[in-house]
A and B are shown apart, each in its own frame.
Chain A
Amino acid sequence: MRSRNLLALALAPLIAFPLIYSSAQESPEPELKIQAFTNATIYPVSSPKIENATLLLKGDTIIAVGPSDQIDIPADAQRIDATGKTIIPGLICTHSHIGSVSGADSSSPIQPEVRVLDSIDVRDTSINKARAGGITTVNLMSGSGHLLSGQTLYLKLREGNTVEDLSIKLPDGSLAYGVKMANGTNSIRDNGPFPGTRAKSAALVRQKFLEAQVYQKKRAKHLEENDPEKTFERDLALETLADILDGKRTVHHHTHRHDDILTVLRLKEEFGFKVVLHHVSEAWKVADEIAAADVPCSLIFLDSPGGKLEARDFEWRNGAELEKRGVLTALHTDDPINDSRWFLRNAAIGVRAGMSREKALEALTLSGAKILDLDKSVGSLEPGKQADFVLLSGDPFSIYTRILETHIEGKQVFDLEDPQDRLFAEGGYGAGHNRQATGCCFYR
């Protein structure tokens, strides 16, 4: 536990009891804690960097950000001196396999009925490590060994006992998630029912979505008729695809090679997907086409190309090429491909190869929020948004900068000064006991 939270914990029983009683008597809402982080260098992301700045929170929400001399700090606020420190929004990883996540099995190449929700281990140390890496929001994905490997899940990395504690609820009450698809090498296998070629891969997907269009119409008709006498046979797989066709769910599409990228754009054109291209190793070859299709990308910067044929032509300049063309571009760790604790460094590689510092920081935060349709609540430091932020020891893109604290919705979830948290940040005896992520394709 962390020092500041320790105090809160010690006081908790004293405060909690009267609260329970008072809420039973329908008294006014308890006063929300006000916190002021003062004298920091703040990158709100939605607006330019501010020196000597203050971040003011009330409960789980940001109420003000600005130069310290322009922010009125209420008398009862808890003041935290952040002199010499840098504050950025909580990082958003649009593609990760932490939490021992799994999706589809080997029985078929398209399994939209499978939810990663039913697989996540919130006690897996990879989640603690992601908090140590400054990640506050994450899209947990199933693997790329299928054309469609399941429903993903968007999580806030709050501390919690169940996956529901970490989940994000949409206004309609459903959980926030997307759908994972893939093309290219990983989903091609030697044996049926898996495709053996790229053309077959596309054909299988198209056939399934044509079936989903029929289902979509039936479902719409049933809802329109609103006849309690009539029953509607739900199909979990087609239901998910129909949600995609309705624009309710985003397809997160793994794709590397230029021709595979164009195949995704073709599918989007035919079925009206809301789609995000993931990895996009050869984005630099078809950057114009990606821009023309107005499709966002989620990139990863690896330390070298290769590892498979379709990643041979991967280049660091993907970020810069997409930025030049105004493509909405986020980043991801693909943890365990890149460790969540090196996410800031990933953006620094983008800067090295020509991305602007502004867009690179945006790619770690606000662009990710936009891609996950969560930008109303997270992704930047603005009044009204959830208080998700990271305290750094210095420049976000310097290798020597350390992540000092991570806060989600006004609560500290990582503190480098805390010995247990430091163990997750740096590694050491007991940091492991990790269950290997199953989402990817390691051969040993």
Chain B
Amino acid sequence: MFKSLLLSLLSLSLTAAHAQIAVKADLLFTMTGDLKPIKNAIILCSPDGTIQAVGTDIQIPEGYQTLTVKVATPGIIDAHSTVGLSGILNSPKHDQEQLEKSAPIQPELRAIDAYNGRDPLVKWLRDLGVTTVHTGHAPGTLISGQLMVVKTNVPAITSLDDTLVPTSAVAATLGSSALSKSPGTRAKAIALLRAELLKAQAHARKISTAEADDEKDAPAPNIKLQILVDVLNKKTPLLINAQRHQDIASALRLREEFGFNLILDGAAEAYLLLEEIKAAGIPVIVHPTMGRPFGDLENMTFTLAAQLHQKGIPFAFQSGYETYVPKTRVVHFEAALAAAYGLPREIALAACTIYPAKILGLDDKIGSLAPGKHADLALFDGDPLETTTHTTHVIINGKLVSSTAK
């Protein structure tokens, strides 16, 4: 009580410049507990950018800027995007930084060295309610580079602190889109990957031998092998994009052999391997529901998320990587479509808020609304999953970043 009084006094003094925000929502999805929404709820944002209070019996202290809305949810999280690297213009050498095709395996390419938070597509997503993206190098080569987690209000990476996670995963691709002259076949692709991971194992051994024995020299620095050592040490997960069932099976086989943390990505035919994926205990970031049913995605289904949910496999939605128009998808639009095809609505919402936060290991900070967590919110004038609903406001770290009513 005393603390909140102190806080409100503090906030009063800040009112002139930046009023603290209070949200009054007819329906609030905190995405905690049983995921059911609470009626007539209030959320107070604290000056440090976290949530100060959430509940139904809260008085809004004086001096707060109150936003009264129909529906509030945690800021939407896109579990896998390429936004900020794959720019709006689709212009090679100008704004297409998501894929470097000079070599099939380049895990050393960092997302932080390529991200442009000022690209209009980042704003596009932010205005629609997406507050956090897991973004970076695209599917399309065996190992295309790294991914990072960043809020959509960050215009540029000036220090690692601008990200939530500077290196969140290494992105790999199995299947047709990663095949060209070499590797030109699926079998060759796996052979190349295994050889590279064996090299990384040897590199790791040399490092630990040198650390234990002063007589032994440390191996020459090698940023490519170092990041793969991080993968082998389970410090950084390997996110493998695999759509066809045999490619998913290959991803599971690689994990079995090398023991890294695997995140399955895309996984269009995962419904053929539900038992195996469940047994391996790995999460799936499902292909965009509006993915195009060609090539490796020809047998994709809109019911994949519902099937994963029924099986109890952790999953989240992604906007994925678009090569043409539209240049990005919108992750909660993808979730909405899955809700039309058998996925319970609150699970659809969870799979673009708290579920991706868990998969990314960030559920202590983002993805749900509770005191102490980041004050990231998306506000709507109706059901957040309905196409005709508008996103009225977007809040990141307690600050209003959009009120375009899009």
- CB of A302 within 8 A of CB of B323, answer no
- CB of A427 within 8 A of CB of B120, answer no
CA–CA, A432 to B298, complex, Å?
Answer: 4
- CB of B326 within 8 A of CB of A302, answer yes
- CB of A305 within 8 A of CB of B293, answer no
Whether A400 sits at the interface, judged by CB under 8 Å, is yes
Whether B299 sits at the interface, judged by CB under 8 Å, is yes
Stretch at the interface among B144-152, B191-199, B385-393: B385-393
CA–CA, A222 to B385, complex, Å?
Answer: 62
Which residues 310-343 of A have a CB within 8 angstroms of B? 311-312, 336-339, 342
A285, chain B: closest CB distance, angstroms: 17
Q: Which residue of A lies closest to B124 (CB)?
A: A304
Whether B135 sits at the interface, judged by CB under 8 Å, is no
Using A397-B387, A399-B337, A399-B386 as known contacts, say yes or no to A304 and B298 having CB atoms under 8 A apart. no
Chain A residues with Cβ below 8 Å from B336 are 399
Q: Which residue of B lies closest to A398 (CB)?
A: B386
Whether A18 sits at the interface, judged by CB under 8 Å, is no
Whether B329 sits at the interface, judged by CB under 8 Å, is yes
A45, chain B: closest CB distance, angstroms: 19
- CB of B340 within 8 A of CB of A400, answer yes
Which residues 275-319 of B have a CB within 8 angstroms of A? 290, 292-295, 297-303
Whether B177 sits at the interface, judged by CB under 8 Å, is yes
CA–CA, A345 to B90, complex, Å?
Answer: 25
Chain B residues with Cβ below 8 Å from A349 are 387
CA–CA, A397 to B120, complex, Å?
Answer: 28
Chain B residues with Cβ below 8 Å from A436 are 294-295
Whether B232 sits at the interface, judged by CB under 8 Å, is no
- CB of A401 within 8 A of CB of B340, answer yes
Whether A232 sits at the interface, judged by CB under 8 Å, is no
Q: Known pairs A303-B328, A307-B322, A434-B293. 16 more at Cβ < 8 A?
A: A304-B326, A306-B90, A308-B325, A309-B89, A309-B91, A339-B290, A345-B387, A352-B390, A399-B336, A399-B339, A399-B340, A399-B387, A402-B340, A429-B299, A431-B298, A442-B323
Q: What are 29 of the A-B contact pairs (CB < 8 Å)?
A: A303-B329, A304-B125, A304-B327, A304-B328, A304-B330, A306-B327, A307-B90, A309-B89, A337-B325, A342-B290, A348-B388, A352-B387, A352-B388, A399-B387, A401-B340, A427-B293, A427-B299, A427-B300, A427-B302, A427-B303, A428-B303, A429-B269, A429-B271, A432-B293, A432-B294, A432-B300, A436-B295, A442-B323, A443-B90
Which of A's residues lie within 8 Å of B, judged by CB? 129, 302-309, 311-312, 336-339, 342, 345, 348-349, 351-352, 397-402, 426-434, 436, 440-444
> Which 9 pairs of residues, A with B, have the shortest CB-CB distance?
A432-B298, A307-B325, A306-B88, A427-B301, A306-B327, A348-B387, A302-B326, A304-B326, A307-B327
